[in-house]
């Protein structure tokens, strides 16, 4: 089939735009990430004198870095519409966020849609695959205190012990509030066949749009971060609840990400922007942690039920283009998530100005020394 002049122009424009976006992303990383590291090195005396203030500043810088990643998608027209419960209402409380996992773009989507949720982004901890440690953003996550988990049976028990130690050491000492994890343990396309075989063998529902979640990390988080007697059973009284509220996981936020036509966005698309503008849909359900069972078997069933519900939500979405209304209501209400272009430009400008400042400073020091 012959290619028309108009088609050739469109392809050429898409390639040029992708090249320019990639160049901007590289430049953005070269100034923003080293600046983040250097600012925190300079602030080490503050960490000794006032740890709380140090981690507050680190959290602000971390949020700005995630906003830069969000801007790459936002300016390409990859926006988000939110459904279900309003998570802003619990943004100052401690919460565990359970997310289905389809592609690398899921993380970018969360980086975007959580930007307008108060202090959430700067006070959150991520659980991610250990391979992420070796990416350009790995040094940032290491400093911030995220946890890198190795997948596979041979590592499972050891990783859960390390996760428990990590939470005890860093979660509250750095004033973290939300912890984000992907309980499926991998991308949908990689785990679906194995999950379906396991479901068939154990007489569990056949799932197409999600996989059966794994219990380990979820159980460790609940055991470590939930106050005694508050998980799965009624609390021991108002006094106990008041004392534990400020230092206890209070909510589980079940988050379901849906892409039109079940075509997820990957990190390459997010960076290069060669896909047409796309609206990603994110659905939230909030559960009080006191309603989540503590016993392993009951918790496994509870977690499976959440992902069975995700399957129903996604099936409805792919058939109708919208999530179903909450029980007892006739219409589902959606909310368009927005970011301020002025704010994004200000953050990007700060990153490039910081990069220039550090470059000039090192040039000056080099001349003085040599």
**Model confidence over 39-60: pLDDT tens digits?**
999 999 999 999 999 999 999 9
pLDDT score of 246: 54
Dihedrals phi, psi of 283, to nearest 5 degrees: -110, 135
Please state, in angstroms and as integers, the Cα–Cα distance from residue 25 to each residue in 19, 273, 292, following that order.
10, 11, 42
Task: Supply the pTM of this predicted model.
Answer: 0.90
Write down the pLDDT at residue 132. Answer: 83
**Residue ranges of the alpha helices (H) in the chain?**
5-42, 44-49, 51-74, 105-113, 138-144, 153-166, 188-201, 216-225, 238-245, 267-272, 296-320, 341-369
- pLDDT by residue (tens digit) across 158-180? 999 999 999 999 999 999 999 99
pLDDT, averaged across the chain: 90
The band of 3, judged by pLDDT with boundaries at 50, 70 and 90, is: low
With a pLDDT cut of 90, the percent of the chain lying above it is 77
Query: How many other C-beta atoms are found inside a 10 Å radius of the C-beta of residue 187?
Result: 18
Mean pLDDT to the nearest integer, 209-218: 94
Q: In which band, very low, low, confident or very high, does the pLDDT at 1 lie, cut at 50, 70 and 90?
A: low
pLDDT mean over 201-209: 93
Mean pLDDT, residues 289-300 taken together: 94
Lowest-confidence segment of 79-83, 228-232, 327-331, 359-363 by average pLDDT: 228-232
Partner residues linked to 126 by β-bridges: 180
The confidence band for 134, taking pLDDT boundaries of 50, 70 and 90, is confident
What number of other Cβ atoms are within 10 A of residue 301's Cβ?
11
* pLDDT of 94: 96
Tokens of 92: 């100052």
The token duo for 293 is 């069972």
Please say whether the beta carbons of 180 and 173 come within 8 A.
no
DSSP result, 149-209 = E--SHHHHHHHHHHHHHHIIIIITTTT--EEEE-TT-S-HHHHHHHHHHHHHHTT----SS
> In this structure, what token pair is assigned to residue 84?
């279900």
Residue 271 has pLDDT above 70, yes or no: yes
- On the question of pLDDT at 289 being above 60, the answer is yes
Per-residue pLDDT for 151 more than 90? no
Segment 118-132 shows an average pLDDT of 90
Q: Report which of 242, 282, 261, 252 is spatially closest to residue 112, judged by C-alpha positions.
A: 282
- In whole angstroms, give the CA distance from residue 310 to residue 316: 10
Q: Using CA of residue 228, residue 233, residue 237, residue 242, what is the dihedral sign? A: positive
pLDDT of residue 351: 96
Backbone angles phi, psi at 146, to 5 degrees: -70, 165
Is the confidence at residue 242, as pLDDT, over 50? Answer: no
Per-residue pLDDT reduced to its tens digit, 16-42: 999 999 999 999 999 999 999 999 999
Q: What is the DSSP secondary-structure string of 71-119?
A: HHHHTTTEEEEEEES-GGGGTTS-EEEEE---STHHHHHHHHHTTTSTT
Confidence (pLDDT) at 370: 81
Q: How far, CA to CA in Å, does 163 sit from each of 139, 167, 191, 298?
A: 18, 6, 23, 22
Q: Tokens 């503008």: give the residue.
A: 277
Residue 6: pLDDT band with limits 50, 70, 90: confident
Of the chain, the end-to-end C-alpha distance in Å amounts to 64
Residue 239, pLDDT above cutoff 70: no
Q: Which two tokens stand for residue 361?
A: 């400073």
Which pLDDT belongs to residue 2? 61
Domain boundaries, the chain: 5-227+247-369
Confidence tier at 302 by pLDDT (50, 70, 90): very high
């Amino acid at each position: 089939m012959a290619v028309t002049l108009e088609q050739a122009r469109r392809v050429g424009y898409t390639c040029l735009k992708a090249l320019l976006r990639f160049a901007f992303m590289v430049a953005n990383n070269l100034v923003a990430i080293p600046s983040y590291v250097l600012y925190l090195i300079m602030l080490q005396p503050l960490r000794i004198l006032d740890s709380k203030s140090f981690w507050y500043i680190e959290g602000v810088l971390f949020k700005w870095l995630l906003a830069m990643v969000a801007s790459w998608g936002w300016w390409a027209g990859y926006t988000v519409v939110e459904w279900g419960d309003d998570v802003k209402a619990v943004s100052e409380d401690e919460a565990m966020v359970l997310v289905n996992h389809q592609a690398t773009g899921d993380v970018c989507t969360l980086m975007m849609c959580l930007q307008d949720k108060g202090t959430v982004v700067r006070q959150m901890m991520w659980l991610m695959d250990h391979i992420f440690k070796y990416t350009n953003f790995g040094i940032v996550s290491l400093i911030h205190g995220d946890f890198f988990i190795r997948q596979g049976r041979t590592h499972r028990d050891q990783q859960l012990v390390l996760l428990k130690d990590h939470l005890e050491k860093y979660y509250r000492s750095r004033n973290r509030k939300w912890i984000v994890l992907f309980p499926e343990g991998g991308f949908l396309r990689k785990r679906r066949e194995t999950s379906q075989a396991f479901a068939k063998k154990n007489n569990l529902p056949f799932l197409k749009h999600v996989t059966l979640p794994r219990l380990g990390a979820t159980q460790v988080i609940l055991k470590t971060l939930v106050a005694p007697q508050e998980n799965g059973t009624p609390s021991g009284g108002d006094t106990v609840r008041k004392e534990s509220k400020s230092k206890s996981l209070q909510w589980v936020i079940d988050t379901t990400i849906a892409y039109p036509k079940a075509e997820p966005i990957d990190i390459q698309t997010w960076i290069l922007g060669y896909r047409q503008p796309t609206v990603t849909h994110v659905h939230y359900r909030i559960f009080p942690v006191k309603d989540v069972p503590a016993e392993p078997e009951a918790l496994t069933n509870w977690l499976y039920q959440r992902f069975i519900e995700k399957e129903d939500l996604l099936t409805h979405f792919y058939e109708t283009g919208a999530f179903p209304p909450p029980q007892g209501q006739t219409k589902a209400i959606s909310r368009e998530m927005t970011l301020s272009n002025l704010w994004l430009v200000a953050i990007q400008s700060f990153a490039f100005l910081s990069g220039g400042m550090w470059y000039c400073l090192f040039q000056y020091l080099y001349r003085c020394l040599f």
